[in-house]
């Protein structure tokens, strides 16, 4: 079964607490939180205060995706706010290896996010130190974008590169029951879905559809 990580980027921000309560009731595997700073990507979203405010509503792990410039300057704030897993982009920081270890030393699982234009080869020498790899199947910054088809082959390539390492492959962007099926077959373990879940006429059935893959 696929692990399901609904992205609250697509939730109703005016009722964010209720959205968290719904995901808690559905017992999803992770709650995916997209953090954007308006610099690394042209959008602004959640910060540590929002994460801290919803942390008390659920014990489901928070999967925090930092789409921010120089994440090493603020990663401690996201950890303190309640992040259980943190991914960041290698082109947003100078010393990726150092930041991976700083996150792990704080007791949080660490991962790298790969943009559509980035090759898996760019993280080959980090593979032994990662807990997860987040493959972006859309360009980061906004929800509801069209799935980039080459992402399936990228997942397959990463799975081969891992050579049995216990590293979770997660995919984010344009995920639904159809694209999700192909991604899981290629080697993905967990699926991030925002519009597909929160825009569905029956969000619970959307979660079940992904989980059954």
Indicate the helix (H) or strand (E) that contains 17.
Answer: helix 16-26
Is 202 in the active site? Answer: no
38 is in an annotated binding site: no
141 appears as a binding residue in the annotation: yes
172 is in an annotated binding site: yes
For residue 123, count other CB atoms closer than 10 A to its CB. 21
194 annotated as belonging to a binding site for a ligand: yes
Residue 195 counted as an annotated binding residue:
yes
142 is in an annotated binding site: yes
21 is catalytic: no
Q: Is 187 annotated as a binding residue?
A: no
Catalytic residue among 84, 166, 172, 202: 172
**CA separation for the pair 195, 203 (Å, rounded):** 10
Would you say 143 is a known binding-site residue?
A: yes
132-135 long-range CB contacts below 8 Å, 24 or more apart?
132/85, 132/87, 132/167, 132/168, 132/169, 132/170, 132/190, 133/158, 133/167, 133/168, 133/169, 133/170, 134/65, 134/87, 134/170, 134/171, 134/172, 134/192, 135/169, 135/170, 135/171, 135/172, 135/188
Q: What angle do CA 59, 19, 34 make, to 5 degrees?
A: 75
Q: Of residues 21, 24, 34, 128, which has the active-site annotation?
A: 34
Cβ contacts of 96 within 8 Å, gap of 6 or more: 88, 90, 112, 123, 126
117 a known binding residue? no
Cβ atoms of 198 and 32 closer than 8 Å? no
User: Does the annotation place 82 within a ligand binding site?
Assistant: no
Q: Annotated binding site for a divalent metal cation: which residue ranges?
A: 32, 34, 65, 172
Q: Return the active site residues.
A: 34, 172
Q: Annotated binding site: which residue ranges?
A: 7, 32, 34, 65, 141-144, 172-174, 194-195
Q: Annotated binding site for substrate: which residue ranges?
A: 7, 65, 141-144, 172-174, 194-195
């Amino acid at each position: 079964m696929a692990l399901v990580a609904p992205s609250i980027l697509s939730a109703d921000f005016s009722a964010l607490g209720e959205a968290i309560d719904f995901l808690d009731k559905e017992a999803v595997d992770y709650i995916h939180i997209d953090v954007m700073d308006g610099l690394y990507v042209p959008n602004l979203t959640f910060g540590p205060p929002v994460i801290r405010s919803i942390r008390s509503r659920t014990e489901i792990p928070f999967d925090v995706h930092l789409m921010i410039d120089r994440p090493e300057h603020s990663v401690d704030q996201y950890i303190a706010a309640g992040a259980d897993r943190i991914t960041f982009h290698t082109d947003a920081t100078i010393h990726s290896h150092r930041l991976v270890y700083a996150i792990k030393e704080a007791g949080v699982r660490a991962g790298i996010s790969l943009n559509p234009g980035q090759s898996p080869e760019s993280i080959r020498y980090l593979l032994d130190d990662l807990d997860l790899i987040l493959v972006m199947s859309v360009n980061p910054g906004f929800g509801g974008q069209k799935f980039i088809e080459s992402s399936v082959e990228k997942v397959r390539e990463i799975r081969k590169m891992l050579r049995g390492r216990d590293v979770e492959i997660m995919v984010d962007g344009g995920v639904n029951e159809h694209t999700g099926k192909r991604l899981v077959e290629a080697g993905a373990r967990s699926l991030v879905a925002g519009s597909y879940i929160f825009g569905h006429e029956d969000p619970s059935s959307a979660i079940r559809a992904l989980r059954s893959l």
